[in-house]
Amino acid sequence: MTKLRAAITGVQGYVPDYILTNQELSKMVDTNDEWITTRTGIKTRRILKGEGLGTSHMGVKAVQGLLEKTNTKAEEIDLLICATTTPDMVFPATANLIADGVGATKAFNYDVQAACSGFLYSLFTAAQFIETGMYKKVVVVGADKMSSIIDYTDRTTCVIFGDGAGAVLLEGDDSGVGIQDAVLQSDGSGWKHLHQKAGGSRRPPTKETVENREHFVYQEGKHVFKHAVTNMGSSVVELMKRNNLTTADVDWLNPHQANMRIVDATAKSMGLDEGVESDKVMMTISKYGNTTSGTLPLNFWNYEPQLKKGDNVILAAFGGGFTWGAVYLKWAYDGQEIAKREEYKHLLPGS
């Protein structure tokens, strides 16, 4: 009998209504559309507006749509993992708040913090609970309200990030589809190049930390870029070699959308000479920017109608920590069939 694997049986995303354009950003900092587009590939990003609305608000919306689309009852969820770098509060976990918001009263739930690699780490972690038979239905959420920790006077970071959330449902499958393998790595010495200076237990909030604008993303762009290009590419290549995959065997690359040039380099490292122009590369950066933990599931949400059962998909990410890696999975269902159903039209991107 084929090994029981964790298969993605549904995806759903949520992005806020407010669209922050490059033109609007050019009125806030010294930048312009050409500068942003050339260096990042970003045209717009979504921003969550509204008093008291945090990351869990977007996570709840994504999970509610996921449950509706997959005809799953909230009380059927055994486990809910939320990958996030921008939790609503220091505690409780944002996963607790999402589970409560959707009525998943029986779900064991917790957060994973691995910056932009958070969803990747969470997905493979969740798969273990399915493969051991401990749980039958697991929801993995990737969600971040990056606008809450972005300095909109710093043009090197404020042009990059946006807000958004995505969620997937994992269930057991013994037909050969599902998560096949993963290469997950980290290097804690990279923390100094990408972090938030204050707000944690090392440097609790004070009047001085606020005045010095230390509660925002700090990034040494050139250093992060170099490591992202090297490590995302190498993890994908290692994963392909380990599973005897050629470029022709891979139907889709689902890469973290940090920067168009990083995605381009990753695609070329696995043999896709067209880079980001390849029809095998999922690209949403132009309209969402970098949504951190939300990126990979949002990619799936946008490309779901094109995904076919049995498609070989590689996910890749790099984030603060440093954290990085790649996951290889075989897609479990025909997404086009979902997109055709009239009752799910309101759950599609752009609806």
- Catalytic residue (one of 109, 259, 290, 302): 290
In angstroms, rounded to a whole number, what is the distance separating the alpha carbons of residues 122 and 139? 10
Confirm whether 256 is a catalytic residue: yes
Q: Are 290 and 145 in contact (CB under 8 A)?
A: no
- Catalytic residue (one of 82, 256, 302, 312): 256
Longest CA–CA span in the chain (Å) reads 62
In angstroms, rounded to a whole number, what is the distance separating the alpha carbons of residues 255 and 113? 18
R_g over Cα of the chain: 19
In angstroms, rounded to a whole number, what is the distance separating the alpha carbons of residues 288 and 119? 17
Q: Note the residue count of the chain.
A: 351
What residues contact residue 28 under an 8 Å CB cut-off, 6+ apart? 152, 153, 158
State the DSSP string of 122-154: HHHHHHHHHHTTS-SEEEEEEEEEGGGG--TT-
- Catalytic residue (one of 116, 231, 259, 312): 116
Q: Which of 156, 141, 152, 169 is nearest to 295 (CA)?
A: 141
User: Which positions are annotated as active-site residues?
Assistant: 116, 256, 290
